[in-house]
Structure 1
Amino acid sequence: MRLPHLLLATLILAPSLAGAEEISIAGVGQSRDFTCNGEDVAITGQGHTVELKGSCGAIGIHGSGHKVSFEDATSLAVSGAQNRASGGSTGNLTVETAENTVSTKIHGGETPAEIDVSGADHVIELELTGPAKIEVGGAKNSLSWTAAADVREPSISTSGIENRIVKR
């Protein structure tokens, strides 16, 4: 009789254990440091200061006025306004909405890393360590990039108004 109860308890607890695979910071004005062990990270709300150490999964920064530093991520998505993200290295990068600042290394693998920028007035500084595909749309976005001599230049497409893309 205990086996069915154990099975039932496992089925009930399994969904809550699956949710443990994400670090979540919400609300207003939190100041937190975390060590990632492959977890995804969700930062929402307003005005958080977050330092992420270790290797994170996907990092999502949504809201406004956040300051986030990270060592490594599989991908980074920034939306909202006036967020700052700086890090050691990430795979794909998405930046949306307005006035966000991002500075990071982009690592591509067998397939190029994808960098997608839309919205307005973003400032993005990238160091490419592998193949990359850059798309910039929106208005008045500034993207500068650099790469080592052994890294081929990224494919770049742009649309919108007064966007600036430069190799440093």
Structure 2
Amino acid sequence: MLLRLPVITAAMLAVISLAHAADDELTIQGIGISRDIDCQGKNVGVYGAENEIALTGQCRTITVHGSKHKVSFEQGQTLSVSGSDNVVNGGRANDVVVSVAKNIVTTTLEAGEEPGKLKATGANNKITLVLSGPSRLDVGGVEQVVEWSKADGAPNPEVRSSGALNSIKRKK
């Protein structure tokens, strides 16, 4: 049995490696991590607290979950920010989801085959958008602040609002 242990261990490591290779999320998890990361077309997840992450290149889904993260990005299909007191500044995203409380998100909302979409829930989030094409803003929750401006030729957004004390305004 002892002779088989190295073989079993090697087989288990190979399975773990294959499972990890199939997983195309670049994961940053912890507290106080500072990194620059090239997305290489992959999903990226930032979890924990107080991480400072700069994402370069084309990302698929960018997930920021936790508290007090500072994240910048160049391009993402989907940006999902949840937790509290996160600051996310970006280039362009097709879909943006912001939830929970006191997050600050700044990005260009880009249309693809479908209009660019914002979905905001929770309370006291501040979202600043540049709309580069057709877009839909769906804002719920309490005391959300959404400011938007348009790139040349972009139409006004379709706006849906629910909740209380939300502000959705064109940036002056």
Output the TM-score relative to the length of structure 2: 0.88
Q: Which runs of 4+ in 1 moved over 6 A?
A: none
- Partner residue in 2 for 1:128: 131
- Partner residue in 1 for 2:77: 74
- Partner residue in 2 for 1:18: 22
- Displacement of 1:149 after TM fit? 3.9
Matched, 1:147 2:150: yes
Q: Which runs of 5+ in 1 are unaligned?
A: 1-7
- Displacement of 1:36 after TM fit? 1.2
Sequence identity percentage:
36
Matched, 1:86 2:103: no
- Displacement of 1:15 after TM fit? 2.4
**Where do residues 1-168 of structure 1 align in structure 2 (5 Å cutoff)?**
12=15, 13-19=17-23, 21-168=24-171
Letter in 1 for 2:79: L
Please list the CA deviations of residues 67-97 of structure 1 after superposition, one character each: whole Å capped at 9, or x if unmatched: 0000111110000000000011111000000
The Cα RMSD (Å) is: 1.5
Please list the CA deviations of residues 145-167 of structure 1 after superposition, one character each: whole Å capped at 9, or x if unmatched: 01124111111010111000001
Q: Which runs of 5+ in 2 are unaligned?
A: 1-10
Letter in 1 for 2:92: S
- Residues of 2 paired with 1:70 and 1:26: CA distance? 17
- Residues of 1 paired with 2:83 and 2:154: CA distance? 32
- Residues of 2 paired with 1:121 and 1:58: CA distance? 24
- Residues of 1 paired with 2:152 and 2:53: CA distance? 33
Letter in 1 for 2:21: L
Output the TM-score relative to the length of structure 1: 0.90
- Displacement of 1:16 after TM fit? 2.5
Aligned residue pairs: how many? 159
- Residues of 2 paired with 1:109 and 1:32: CA distance? 29
- Residues of 2 paired with 1:149 and 1:130: CA distance? 9
- Residues of 2 paired with 1:126 and 1:65: CA distance? 21
